[in-house]
Amino acid sequence: EVQLVESGGGLVRPGGSLRLSCAASGFTFSDYSMNWVRQAPGKGLEWVSSISSSSIYIFYADSVKGRFTISRDNAKNSLYLQMNSLRGEDTAVYYCASGGFLEWSDYWGQGALVTVSS
């Protein structure tokens, strides 16, 4: 069974940092490009970042460029999102999902809630 399990969410003050992790199982993680997608409360889906299977290619949304860093460790079947200089508008559920780089997202985690508030 395919599983993507996010962790590391929580409450953080504006300007603070947080690191999300996503543990993958049930599929060959190293064969897949991976995404982070977020959803603000009551809003639609917003693509955040993608990383290719070997980490050679990385893309970011303009809204997070320079503040967020995506990475992966194929030996640990894990995806990460380092989030710095957090703002109120970064408050959202963050989903780890397969896909990007011409691939659709067929695997999704259940999401991790990040709340940025003083």
Partner 1 sequence: EIVLTQSPGTLSLSPGERATLSCRASQSVSSTYLAWYQQKPGQAPRLLIYGASSRATGIPDRFSGSGSGTDFTLTISRLEPEDFAVYYCQQYGDSPYTFGQGTKVEIK
Of residues 111, 112, 114, 116, which one binds partner 1 by CB under 8 A? 111
Count the site residues for partner 1 by CB under 8 A.
24
Q: Which is nearer to partner 1, 41 or 118 (CB)?
A: 41
Q: Which residues contact 75 (CB under 8 A, 6 or more apart)?
A: none
CA atoms within 13 A on the CB side of 87: 5
Per-residue tokens: 14: 């504006």
**Shortest CB 21 distance to partner 1, Å:** 17
> How far is the C-alpha of 20 from the C-alpha of 77, rounded, in Å?
14
**Shortest CB 97 distance to partner 1, Å:** 8
What x-and-dash track marks residues 32-51 binding partner 1 by CB under 8 A? ---x-x------xxxx--x-
